[in-house]
């Protein structure tokens, strides 16, 4: 099983849509062993492409801090499980909590952005591949 975690400096990033890297962790859910961990650069900032892109990486579950409602819907469409983690928590701790069943399902998602910017996101008019802010 592969888990994806939006990260900044090795810890859970506070908002899914503004992350620049993902830790992708391959685990054995039966033995709870980590098989492999890699850090992937996120595609250009059009966060509604993240769920499909993560699916192409073989990801079956994500652990997030804050996440928008639309992203939650897109993960559901991709069949990817979403669990809530505490921003700032190290990847290893989050993986252990996930495997132990201690992470909860995410709430409805936030309906706003908490990062300053003047662009439009790819799912609302900006072409994927446009520069990040």
Write out pLDDT tens, residues 72-81: 999 999 999 9
On whether the CB atoms of residues 112 and 133 are closer than 8 A, the answer is: no
pLDDT in tens, 82-120: 999 999 999 999 999 999 999 998 765 555 444 444 433
Output the six-digit token pair for 87. 């921003």
User: What pLDDT score does 17 carry?
Assistant: 84
Please give the pLDDT value at position 106: 73
| Phi, psi of 127, deg, nearest 5 | -70, 135
- State yes or no: pLDDT of 128 exceeds 70: no
Q: Which is nearest to 7 in space by CA: 60, 64, 52?
A: 64
Residue 125: per-residue pLDDT: 34
CA distance 37 to 58: 13
User: Residue written as tokens 């620049």?
Assistant: 20
Under 8 Å between Cβ of 37 and 21: no
Q: Domains in the chain, please, with CATH?
A: 2-124 (3.30.420.130)
Nearest to 18 by CA among 46, 39, 38, 40: 46
User: How far apart are the C-alpha atoms of 116 and 73, rounded to whole Å?
Assistant: 23
Helices assigned H by DSSP within 61-133: 69-78, 91-99
In the chain, % of residues over pLDDT 90: 63
């Amino acid at each position: 099983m592969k888990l994806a975690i939006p990260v900044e400096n090795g810890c859970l990033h506070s908002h899914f849509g503004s992350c620049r890297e993902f830790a992708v962790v391959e685990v054995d859910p039966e033995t709870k062993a980590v098989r492999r961990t890699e850090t992937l650069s996120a595609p250009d900032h059009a966060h509604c492409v993240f769920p499909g892109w993560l699916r192409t990486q073989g990801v079956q579950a994500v652990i997030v801090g804050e996440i928008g409602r639309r992203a939650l819907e897109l993960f559901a469409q991709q069949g990817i499980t979403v669990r809530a983690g505490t921003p700032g928590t190290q990847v290893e701790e989050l993986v252990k909590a996930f495997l132990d069943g201690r992470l909860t399902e995410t709430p409805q998602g936030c309906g706003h952005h908490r990062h300053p910017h003047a662009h439009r996101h790819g799912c609302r008019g900006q072409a994927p591949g446009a520069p990040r802010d």
